[in-house]
Chains A and B, each alone.
Chain A
Amino acid sequence: MTDVTLPSAAKGRSLWADAWNRLKANKAAMVSLWYLLFMGIVCIVGPWFTPHDFTTIYQDYTRVPPSLSAYPKADAIDLAVKDAVQRSRLELAGWEEKDGKVYITVTSAKPIDPRVTRYIDRSDVFEGAQVVETSDDKLKMTMSADFKHEYFFFGTDNNGRDLLTRTLIAGRVSLAIGLLAGLVAVVIGVLYGAVAGFSGGKTDEVMMRIVDILYSLPFIFFVIMLVVFFGRNFVLMFLAVGAVLWLDMARIVRGQALSLKRQEYVQAAEALGVSPGGILLRHVVPNLLGPVVIYMTLLVPQVIILESFLSFLGLGVQEPMSSWGVLISQGAKNIPSATWLLIFPSFFLTTTLFALNFIGDGLRDALDPKDR
């Protein structure tokens, strides 16, 4: 018998390295992953870089359409001038635009106080108002003012708030709720399902009957009751959402746990005297992780939809905070006159949901051993 020199064993690939390789080959999932990352960064960092705060109200710019060029537009100047002069209780004699400044001439029956410039400054359109000349009887005055240039890339809402900033802030809220509520649901579901599956017998039966009963209650009723109980509170909101969505997770994990318990390698480990904790860590958790990860990525879009749905009904996030559902519901009420209020948030929400679904599908293909 001759010695056979074995070729040096190829470096083993772990389940996760293997899955990652296959996920990388999935174009839709990878594009979605980058898109989601981009969306997350834009929503988290973006609001600090937009020129407006999400609560700032621009009274002179309510419902202005999205534009890449700066406001004020020509027709808005006339309106703003008339508005400001009216507030100062003077007569407008005329105004003109020259060298990027506006010159406003006003008259009055009584002598004009030079402090009226502050009425002009108070407008969202002008700043740095000064008196240029006053007639000798002080009944006529000309003021100059600079334009305050504002950018509203996504337009503004009914209250004159910048939609771009609000959409990004809403994205923060929606994504955060999606992740946190998803996590809550997964933690509850995994613990519940694992306990039921491993205990088996009576405990299992009772625990799963409870799940069945919760299932048979109308879903919306359950959610609304939770909202009614917890009030319209931001943090409790997503705890409630998470607490509703754990049922599926519990069933999946229980099923997995039941089948794992009977696997030969688990029985072998038991026979070899491995402690229950060791079995749990070495065999059970890694095997549960796949379905849990897949389910969680599919759960996050569900949570975002549910939160948006509740916000759409006015039960979710409250003003001045915002979520995509809140924005879409405002958009839906304004479609005849302000389509951008619907289009931008819908685009953000829908693309994010698509990305999450593609990642979920990709993960399922990558982690499901049946496909190999």
Chain B
Amino acid sequence: MLRYVLRRFLTAIPTLFVIVTISFFLMRLAPGGPFNQEKGLNPVIKANLERVFHLDQPLWQQYLLYLNNLLHGNFGPSYNLPDFTVAELFADGLPISIQLGGSALVLALVLGGMLGIVAALYQNKPADYAVIATATAGSTIPTFVIAPLFQLFFALTLKWVPVGGWGDGAFVNKIGPVLTLMLPQLAIVARLMRGSMIESLRSHHIRTARALGLSEYSVVIKHALRGALLPIISYAGPAAAALLTGSIIVESIFAIPGVGRYFVEAALNRDYTLVMGTVVVIAIFTIVFNLIVDILYAVVDPRVRYD
């Protein structure tokens, strides 16, 4: 197992390298630059700025320089937020995004999982239809519709929660973002869980467990659930990576100072280092969570072996 994990970490390095390379050149191929503002900067100042940030050197040199910096854990300065380095921006924003995304993920897995189990146990009964309806609504209505509607009803009409803002992490400020982040995930988890649970309940070992006279609780939770978990786990990996690295929609609607907004802002401003930083962070999260998924596979299903 340990060898497997080590090997996976080693194969992650070339993957990361390919992703960094593609995004670096893709970003640089795009017209414009970080200092091409609409008003037009004084050419001398612009040239100076570009020299400071090594943007006047040939592209391949810049690429090697960036790779070298990256290997030393240096993400470089942000061009458009000159008071901060990319690492500082992430140090400030990432905990916030992780907190919101993590809460949303845990809630979606627990609640969605429970809803899915209930739906599977009462298949084609009212409870099942209620879950299916919730799941359909949750996965159909886009976040950028749900979030403002949430603000409209719960913040402006009922005045239960503030409209937006981080409020130094006050609980009421997190309700809206977490719920809107959670809902689409909850819908998918519930649907997946329902499907795989129905299948799992039909399998032979469950029939055997029932024949042995085990309690319904034991049959469902100890035996059927374990077999039904695999699709949820494989879904949860990429979902976790996406949730924890912040959502531009939720963060911009609720005015949350996370890292979700950096991606779009930085790409539009050609803030090369910030874009690359975001790509690297997302890629690392994705790789790590995919690895966790594969390890969990082996934990949940003993038939899966990595040797």
Residues of A bordering B, CB below 8 Å: 213, 216-218, 220-221, 224-225, 228-229, 301, 305, 308-309, 312-313, 315, 325, 328-329, 331-332, 335-336, 339, 342, 346, 349-350, 353-354, 357
Contact of A216 among B142, B152, B278, B283 (CB under 8 A): B283
The answer to whether A335 and B30 touch across the interface, beta carbons within 8 angstroms, is no
Bound Cα distance from A218 to B23, whole angstroms: 10
Contact of A217 among B19, B141, B145 (CB under 8 A): B19
**A315, A332, A336, A350 interface centre (most CB from chain B within 10 Å):** A332
The answer to whether A216 and B15 touch across the interface, beta carbons within 8 angstroms, is yes
How far, in Å, is A330 (CB) from chain B's closest CB? 11
Counting chain B residues whose Cβ lies within 8 A of the other chain, the interface size class is: 35 or more
The answer to whether B282 and A313 touch across the interface, beta carbons within 8 angstroms, is no
Please name all residues of chain A whose beta carbon is closer than 8 Å to the beta carbon of B15 when the two chains form the complex: 216
Contact of A220 among B32, B253, B263, B286 (CB under 8 A): B263
The answer to whether B263 and A342 touch across the interface, beta carbons within 8 angstroms, is no
Please name all residues of chain A whose beta carbon is closer than 8 Å to the beta carbon of B264 when the two chains form the complex: 220, 224, 313, 315
Q: Enumerate the 8 nearest inter-chain pairs by beta-carbon distance, A residue then B residue, closest first.
A: A332-B148, A224-B267, A228-B30, A346-B145, A218-B282, A312-B144, A353-B140, A335-B152
Bound Cα distance from A227 to B128, whole angstroms: 42
Bound Cα distance from A217 to B278, whole angstroms: 11
Residues of B bordering A, CB below 8 Å: 15, 18-19, 22-23, 26-27, 29-32, 136, 140-142, 144-145, 147-149, 151-152, 156, 248-249, 253, 263-264, 267-268, 275, 278-279, 282-283, 286
The answer to whether B144 and A309 touch across the interface, beta carbons within 8 angstroms, is yes
The answer to whether A220 and B141 touch across the interface, beta carbons within 8 angstroms, is no
Residue of A nearest to B157 (CB): A339
Please name all residues of chain A whose beta carbon is closer than 8 Å to the beta carbon of B267 when the two chains form the complex: 221, 224-225, 228
* 8 A-B residue pairings within 8 Å (CB atoms): A221-B278, A224-B268, A225-B30, A308-B144, A309-B144, A315-B264, A346-B149, A357-B136
Please name all residues of chain B whose beta carbon is closer than 8 Å to the beta carbon of A221 when the two chains form the complex: 23, 263, 267, 275, 278-279
Please name all residues of chain A whose beta carbon is closer than 8 Å to the beta carbon of B140 when the two chains form the complex: 301, 350, 353-354, 357
How far, in Å, is A130 (CB) from chain B's closest CB? 46
Bound Cα distance from A287 to B30, whole angstroms: 41
Contacts A305-B142, A329-B144 supplied; 9 other A-B pairs, CB < 8 Å: A213-B18, A218-B263, A312-B144, A312-B249, A332-B253, A342-B152, A353-B141, A353-B142, A357-B140
Please name all residues of chain B whose beta carbon is closer than 8 Å to the beta carbon of A216 when the two chains form the complex: 15, 18-19, 283, 286
Please name all residues of chain A whose beta carbon is closer than 8 Å to the beta carbon of B279 when the two chains form the complex: 217-218, 221
The answer to whether B22 and A328 touch across the interface, beta carbons within 8 angstroms, is no
Please name all residues of chain A whose beta carbon is closer than 8 Å to the beta carbon of B275 when the two chains form the complex: 221
Contact of B263 among A224, A228, A346 (CB under 8 A): A224
How far, in Å, is A82 (CB) from chain B's closest CB? 31
Please name all residues of chain B whose beta carbon is closer than 8 Å to the beta carbon of A301 when the two chains form the complex: 140
How far, in Å, is B156 (CB) from chain A's closest CB? 6
Taking chain A's interface residues, is the majority helix, strand, or loop, or is none over half, making it mixed? helix
- Say yes or no: A328-B148 contact (C-beta < 8 A), given A228-B267, A301-B140, A349-B142: yes
The answer to whether A325 and B144 touch across the interface, beta carbons within 8 angstroms, is yes
How far, in Å, is A358 (CB) from chain B's closest CB? 8
Bound Cα distance from A217 to B15, whole angstroms: 10
- Say yes or no: A336-B145 contact (C-beta < 8 A), given A216-B19, A218-B282, A224-B263: no
The answer to whether A332 and B147 touch across the interface, beta carbons within 8 angstroms, is yes
Bound Cα distance from A308 to B141, whole angstroms: 12
The answer to whether A225 and B27 touch across the interface, beta carbons within 8 angstroms, is yes
How far, in Å, is A158 (CB) from chain B's closest CB? 16
Bound Cα distance from A328 to B22, whole angstroms: 34
The answer to whether A342 and B149 touch across the interface, beta carbons within 8 angstroms, is yes
**A220, A336, A353 interface centre (most CB from chain B within 10 Å):** A220
The answer to whether A335 and B263 touch across the interface, beta carbons within 8 angstroms, is no
**A228, A315, A329 interface centre (most CB from chain B within 10 Å):** A228
Bound Cα distance from A226 to B148, whole angstroms: 28
Bound Cα distance from A342 to B157, whole angstroms: 15
How far, in Å, is A25 (CB) from chain B's closest CB? 17
Please name all residues of chain A whose beta carbon is closer than 8 Å to the beta carbon of B141 when the two chains form the complex: 350, 353
Bound Cα distance from A106 to B140, whole angstroms: 58
Bound Cα distance from A308 to B279, whole angstroms: 23
How far, in Å, is A328 (CB) from chain B's closest CB? 6
Bound Cα distance from A325 to B145, whole angstroms: 9
**A301, A331, A335 interface centre (most CB from chain B within 10 Å):** A335
Please name all residues of chain A whose beta carbon is closer than 8 Å to the beta carbon of B27 when the two chains form the complex: 225
Bound Cα distance from A53 to B2, whole angstroms: 68
- Say yes or no: A335-B22 contact (C-beta < 8 A), given A216-B283, A313-B264, A353-B141: no
The answer to whether A220 and B144 touch across the interface, beta carbons within 8 angstroms, is no
Bound Cα distance from A305 to B141, whole angstroms: 9
Please name all residues of chain A whose beta carbon is closer than 8 Å to the beta carbon of B142 when the two chains form the complex: 305, 308-309, 349-350, 353
Please name all residues of chain B whose beta carbon is closer than 8 Å to the beta carbon of A353 when the two chains form the complex: 140-142
Please name all residues of chain B whose beta carbon is closer than 8 Å to the beta carbon of A218 when the two chains form the complex: 263, 278-279, 282-283
